[in-house]
C-alpha cells in the first residue's frame, strides 16, 4: 500500500525532518531527526526507526530526544560518517544555533545495499558521498530520501568538512539519475521533486 510522508521543515537551517508511516502496518520511521516537537509528536503512534542520511548537526540535532521518548526505536546511521558523527569543526558551529548537544551512538550502521524493513516497506540504502564522505539515501520503489545530496534544482554544499564536488557529481549522475524518472525525491531542505525533473532541469549536474 505504500507510505505516508509528513515533512517538518524546522530549525535555524530549515532542515526537513520526515515522519514516514507504512500504511499497511502503521509502523513509523523518522528520517533526519533535526526537529523534535509537538507537530511531530502528535503524529507518532508506533516509531520503529530513527534514520540518518549524513552526519551534519542540523540533521541529527533531535536524535537523542527521539530516543529518550521512544526507547524501543532503533537509531541507524551511515557507517561511513564516523568523523562527522563524533565531532568536526563545522558541526561545532552548527550546534550553536541549536543549543548544543552531540549525536548518540547508532545501534545500526548502514552500508551500500543494506535494507531497513518498516512493515511492508523496504528502504534500500544507496551510498551517495560528496556532500559528506559517508552520506546515504533511503529509497523505496517510488520514493527516495536524499538528505543533502540532491535538492530541487540544487545540490548539496561541498565546501564543508569531508565534502568533494567531483564525488558529489558522480554520486548524483551514477546513483540517483539512473533511478526511475518518476521517483519522488524528498530532500533534506526545500520542496520535494522528481528524479526526471532534476535530470532535465537541475543546473548543477
- The label of the residue with cell 531497513 reads 116
Residue 4 confidence (pLDDT) above 90: yes
Mean pLDDT of 125-133: 98
Mean pLDDT of 47-68: 96
Q: What sign for the dihedral angle of Cα 29, 30, 36, 42?
A: negative
Task: Write out pLDDT tens, residues 72-111.
Answer: 999 999 999 999 998 788 888 888 777 777 899 999 999 9
What does pTM read for this prediction? 0.97
Mean pLDDT of 140-145: 98
Alpha helices by DSSP H, listed for 49-126, are 57-60, 63-69, 82-85, 89-98
Residue 143 confidence (pLDDT) above 80: yes
Q: How many residues does the chain have?
A: 205
- Give, in order, the Cα–Cα distances in Å from 13 to each of 5, 44, 55, 83, 160: 20, 23, 15, 21, 15
Mean pLDDT of 187-200: 98
Amino acid at each position: 500500500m505504500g507510505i505516508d510522508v509528513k515533512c517538518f521543515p524546522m530549525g535555524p537551517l530549515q532542515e526537513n525532518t520526515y515522519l514516514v508511516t507504512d500504511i499497511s502496518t502503521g509502523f513509523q520511521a523518522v528520517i533526519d531527526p533535526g526537529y523534535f516537537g509537538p507537530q511531530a509528536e502528535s503524529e507518532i503512534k508506533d516509531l520503529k526507526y530513527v534514520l540518518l542520511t549524513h552526519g551534519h548537526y542540523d540533521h541529527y540535532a533531535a536524535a537523542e530526544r527521539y530516543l529518550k521518548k521512544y526507547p524501543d526505536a532503533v537509531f541507524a546511521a551511515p557507517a561511513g560518517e564516523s568523523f562527522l558523527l563524533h565531532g568536526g569543526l563545522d558541526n561545532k558551529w552548527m550546534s550553536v544555533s541549536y543549543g548544543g548537544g552531540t549525536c548518540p551512538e547508532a545501534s545500526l550502521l548502514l552500508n551500500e545495499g543494506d535494507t531497513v524493513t518498516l512493515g511492508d516497506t523496504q528502504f534500500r540504502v544507496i551510498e551517495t558521498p560528496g556532500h559528506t564522505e559517508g552520506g546515504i539515501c533511503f529509497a523505496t520503489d517510488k520514493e527516495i530520501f536524499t538528505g543533502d545530496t540532491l535538492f530541487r534544482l540544487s545540490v548539496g554544499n561541498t565546501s564543508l568538512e569531508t565534502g568533494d564536488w567531483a564525488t558529489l557529481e558522480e554520486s548524483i549522475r551514477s546513483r540517483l539519475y539512473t533511478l526511475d524518472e518518476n521517483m519522488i525525491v524528498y530532500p533534506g531542505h526545500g520542496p520535494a521533486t522528481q528524479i526526471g525533473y532534476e535530470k532535465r532541469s537541475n543546473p548543477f549536474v
